[in-house]
Structure 1
Amino acid sequence: MKSGIKNAATALSLILLPAYSWAHAGNGAGWLHPLSGIDHLLAMIAVGAWSVQIGGRAVWLVPGAFVCFMFLGGVIGFEHIELPFTEVGVSLSVVILGLAIAFRQRLPVAAAAAATAIFGIFHGYAHGYEMPLMQNKVIYTVGFLSTTATLHLVGAFGAHFLQKVAIGSRLLRLSGALSALCGVWLVMNAV
């Protein structure tokens, strides 16, 4: 019982962090940015879902790598250091993560974390580069990182519960395939 209450409290705090960031950030773009494009939304939910498919330590290491390297990408973006093919990298993350889910790729945890870390750099760069000039960088960063972590949780909980029902694994794989198709469309528009 205590574990359930602790997990619920943790999930609630992660959900409320974006609201806190929005309340102090002026226009709230930091927490809102990951929700503003289908590319970010699909990739971040997919990271959580794929981590559950892999299982074990991947459940926290794979999303953790994404968020940590997203922070790094955000710093690079704030400084407007050139990172070529950012939109292609973001779009390809949707394709690759979708395919990983569709084909149930259980990479070693280190390889999966490294892949999501690379994707995190591209997503973070896009967030940092597009930060409004008058925005507080710290609050903006807390906003986009906490929303990202929340989206990872959405994907992880969704995959966890899907795998508990009879056709859930097939539905999860179908969702991955549909996400990958959407990613192909995004790549074609990014090139």
Structure 2
Amino acid sequence: MKKSMLMGIATSLVSSVAFAHPGHGVETGFMSGFLHPLLGWDHLLVMLAVGVWAAKSGGKARWQLPLMFLGAMTVGAILGLSGITVHCVEIAIAASLMAMGLLLVLHLTISRSVQLLCTALFAVMHGVAHGVELNQGTWLDNASPLVGMLIATALLHAIGYGLGKQQHKLMQWSQSLLAGIMLGFGASVLLSIQ
């Protein structure tokens, strides 16, 4: 846990604000949506963590948590694409980073209904941020980036799940590192929001 906390502190010193990170170089279409969750640390970390959390929770949570995240993120993205914004979205994203980091580092066991509720709340906020940023005009124009975003998210969940199933010392250390980075990044985002 010391290593993960040190990494979290180090990360907080070099991380930037969690915004839906424009400027990937690919501004439209499938690749725009696909790259979106991969190029923003805030989104990337939470999506990996959902996979790790699903693996650690076992049982039906193995598929329920990632599917809940995908479904709720889609709802949030549709809200964002519709022009509905949430003024506290950056705070909620930072809070989701910190909450997921704590869940992973402390190995907390919580009820399935609370897991699903937390996952849905986190995902809606991430979806709103993505939807606002990805909005490219008509619903037809937005379909391809939305599909790209969902595929990238599912892949990140799968990678996180694979990481969570590993029992090697190196993999356990990397899970703690992920949690520490999430805590540090979330704290730095909260401190930088005005």
Deviant stretches of 4+, over 3 Å: 166-171
Counterpart-to-counterpart distance in 1, 2:29 and 2:147: 14
Counterpart-to-counterpart distance in 2, 1:190 and 1:156: 31
User: CA offsets, 1:124-182, max 9 Å, x none?
Assistant: 11111111425721111111111111101111101111xx2246445523431332122
Q: Unaligned regions of 5+ residues in structure 1, if any? A: 1-24
- TM-score, length basis structure 2: 0.78
Decide whether the 8 Å contact of 1:103 with 1:173 is kept in 2.
Answer: no
1:188/1:28 CA distance change after superposition, 3 Å: same
For residue 140 of structure 1, what is the aligned residue in structure 2? 145
Deviation, 1:79, is 0.8
Counterpart-to-counterpart distance in 2, 1:26 and 1:81: 21
How many residues matched?
166
User: CA offsets, 1:48-75, max 9 Å, x none?
Assistant: 1111111111111111111100000001
2:165 to 137, 160, 165: 160
Other structure's SS at 2:110 match:
coil
Pairing 1:13-52 to 2, within 5 Å after superposition: 26=29, 28-52=31-55
Decide whether the 8 Å contact of 2:30 with 2:147 is kept in 1.
Answer: no
Decide whether the 8 Å contact of 2:77 with 2:127 is kept in 1.
Answer: yes
- The aligned amino acid for 1:138 is A
Counterpart-to-counterpart distance in 2, 1:170 and 1:82: 37
Decide whether the 8 Å contact of 1:48 with 1:63 is kept in 2.
Answer: yes
Q: Unaligned regions of 5+ residues in structure 2, if any? A: 1-27
For residue 101 of structure 1, what is the aligned residue in structure 2? 104
Decide whether the 8 Å contact of 1:49 with 1:156 is kept in 2.
Answer: yes
Counterpart-to-counterpart distance in 1, 2:177 and 2:128: 29
1:143/1:171 CA distance change after superposition, 3 Å: closer
